Amino acid sequence: MRQPDIVSLAVISDRHTCALPDRDGTISWYCPGAFDQPAVFSSLIDEEKGGYWDINAEGKNFVTRRFDGRSSVLYTTFSVPNGEFHLTDFMPLH
């Protein structure tokens, strides 16, 4: 896992904490529950010890991404050899 370029990061949040997905569909930072809790995914800080979550497919290429209006629901589209697929990232408000 390589660290993402800062310009490729987006923020999804539930107003208590956040996660940082990049254009490849990888979440490299996430502290569940609250911002001051220990991080579950922290490869943004430490590539070797920090964890991450990713989605992968053979021949996957980034096409576009956008937020749904003013929400933190993030839609990302990827192309693959036989078509495309869509990834939806969000954190439910509680």
The model's pLDDT over 68-79, given as tens digits with 9 standing for 90+, comes to 999 999 999 999
Angstrom CA distances, 59 to 9, 56, 78, 84, stand at 21, 9, 10, 10
- How high is the pLDDT of residue 57? 94
Q: Which residue in 58, 52, 53 sits closest to 81, CA to CA?
A: 58
Domain span at residue 19 reads 6-89
| pLDDT level of residue 44 (50, 70, 90 thresholds) | confident
pTM: 0.86
Answer whether residue 94 is part of any domain.
no
Answer whether residue 59 is part of any domain.
yes
Surface-to-core class of residue 85, CB atoms within 10 Å of its CB (0-12 exposed, 13-18 middle, 19+ buried) = middle
Answer whether residue 74 is part of any domain.
yes
Answer whether residue 1 is part of any domain.
no
* pLDDT tens figures, 10-34: 999 999 999 999 999 999 999 998 9
Structural domain tally of the chain? Answer: 1
